[in-house]
Structure 1
Amino acid sequence: MKYRRLGKTEMNVSVIGLGTWQFGGEWGQQFTQNEVDAILDKGQELGINLIDTAECYGDHLSESFIGDYINRRKREDWIIATKFGHHFHERFTRTDVFGADEVLKQLDASLKALKTDYIDLYQFHSGPDAVFDNDALWTLLDKQVQAGKVRHLGTSIGSNDNVHQTDAASKVNSEVIQVVYNRLDRVPENRVFPSCERQDLGVLARVPLASGYLSGKYKPGAVFDTTDVRHRHDPESTRRKLEEVEHIRQTEVPEGVNMAEWALAWCLKHPAVSAVIPGCKNPAQVESNAAAAELVEG
């Protein structure tokens, strides 16, 4: 495993992290604690130290799985990032909750679920600019940092061209930007990454495998069933993506190199990117993701 400084937080994170949206049950699989334990144990064995989760991956369900695991391990071995701003109702149904008082309740609920007294990185979760530009919210969050409940603040931008929230990061003491970035979606390179570099912000690249399109598993013509989140994607967009992926496979991925590993390493070649946070359904996928670090220059 390789490690990088997460911007001005000065935390050293593994370049491969563990994304945990799947633990909330919206990827068509309901996880058990034993399955989560096996995934996180494999991650630690391979040198991964970064877990990214959120309050709305299930109703604090993903956090609860992680908390149960962490409670039986060494808390200091992990950098835990979670998020705030949404209330989970049912599969793919959420409402926004960004008021300062409500966010404080969410923070306490996250701390309880994670069975910890501090969160390493607490992230504004893909909210609109109107609720981001709320001094009361950031004043409340600064107080939580001062109280030791939160070590660092971050912003997970919903649009990967949201330069408004990125440019305002230093003003609100947000030290990390989380953004969708992958070989099929390079939009952050234009404005977001330059802003991050100017401010010395850490960058977490989410959806680095483009919702699995860059996993190497799918050929043009692939069809996703109704239990798969990709079934919700526009069919014409899916067709174009699969054709582009096949072109990338033939023209950019070196012979003999696993496409998913190549795609993760591709993200990490950009100097702004600190770590990628792919999801994983089992220990084998964790192992494949971690192997991408071997393709990354130190």
Structure 2
Amino acid sequence: MKYRKLGSTGLEVSVIGVGTWQFGGEWGKNFVQDEVDAILDQAGELGLNLIDTAECYGDHLSERLIGDYLARRKREDWIVATKFGHHFQGHLEREQLWSADEVLKQLDDSLRALKSEYVDLYQFHSGTDQQFDNDKLWSMLDRQVQAGKIRHLGVSISASGSGRHQTESASSVGARAIQVVYNRLDRQPEEEILPLCLQHQLGVLARVPLASGYLSGKYKPGAVFRQGDVRERHNPDTRRNQLQEVAEIAANEVPPGTDMAQWALAWCLRHSAVSAVIPGCKNVQQVISNAAAAELL
């Protein structure tokens, strides 16, 4: 495994992390503790040390599964990133919670779920610029940093909107990392966000690096996803067009004999701004495959 500094945080993160939205049950599968234990054990054995989760991946469900695991392992071996601003209400349904008091409650609930006294990276989660520009919120969060509940602050910018304002303002609110959707099918961050991150010394976590699995190479243009899978709600025409583009990428850009998913992860990591990618994984085999992408760098 290879490691990179996460911006100016001082954290050394594995270039391949573990995304855990799937643990919340919105990707067509419900996880039990033994499955999560096996995934994280395998990740640890391969040198992965970064786990990314959120309060709304289930009602703190992903965090609880991770917390139960961490309670039986060495907490200091892992860098745990979670998020705030939403409350799970059902499949892909969220309540927005952005006041300082509401977020403080979310933080304490997340720490209880994670069975940890601190979170390594606490991220503003896909909020609007108006929700971001809240001095009381950031003052409260700074106090939690001083109290040791949070090691570092970050911003997970929304997939909608440019994200420029929040990226430019991150340092002024004490945030040291940006999480952004970035993959071979979505290169928009290359225009503004990634250059700004380099300019301001912000670490970058690339989420959805496999474009919701489309860049895994497993799906053809006419693919149909089962009920309960997030991808079922994707626009059919957009999905068809993206999978057609994936087929062209596979034919023209992926070297013969190279696993497409591993190529796609390494593609993200070749940008100098990107610290780590955080692909999801549903089983041990996917963890092994994801980790192998580091060998292509």
TM-score, length of structure 2 as denominator length? 0.99
Letter in 2 for 1:172: V
Q: 2:112 matched to which residue of 1?
A: 112
**Contact (CA 8 Å) 2:219, 2:243: kept in 1 or not?**
yes
Letter in 1 for 2:74: K
SS in 1 for 2:143: helix
CA–CA distance in 1 between the matches of 2:166 and 2:62? 26
Which blocks of at least 5 consecutive residues in structure 1 are unaligned? none
Q: 1:143 matched to which residue of 2?
A: 143
Letter in 2 for 1:238: R
CA–CA distance in 2 between the matches of 1:213 and 1:265? 15
CA–CA distance in 1 between the matches of 2:197 and 2:227? 38
CA–CA distance in 1 between the matches of 2:14 and 2:296? 14
**Contact (CA 8 Å) 2:18, 2:51: kept in 1 or not?**
yes
SS in 2 for 1:80: strand
RMSD, matched Cα: 0.7
CA–CA distance in 2 between the matches of 1:10 and 1:146? 17
Q: 2:78 matched to which residue of 1?
A: 78
SS in 2 for 1:224: coil
CA–CA distance in 1 between the matches of 2:139 and 2:224? 47
Aligned residues: 296
Alpha-carbon offset, residue 221 of structure 1: 1.9
Letter in 2 for 1:44: G
**Contact (CA 8 Å) 2:6, 2:13: kept in 1 or not?**
yes
Q: 1:257 matched to which residue of 2?
A: 258
Q: 1:48 matched to which residue of 2?
A: 48
Q: 1:146-295 residue pairs with structure 2 within 5 A?
A: 146-159=146-159, 161-295=162-296
CA–CA distance in 2 between the matches of 1:134 and 1:42? 40
CA–CA distance in 2 between the matches of 1:86 and 1:240? 31
Identity %, equivalent residues: 69
**Contact (CA 8 Å) 2:28, 2:227: kept in 1 or not?**
no
CA–CA distance in 2 between the matches of 1:239 and 1:154? 34
Q: 1:20 matched to which residue of 2?
A: 20
TM-score, length of structure 1 as denominator length? 0.98
CA–CA distance in 1 between the matches of 2:159 and 2:29? 27
Q: Which runs of 4+ in 1 moved over 3 A?
A: none
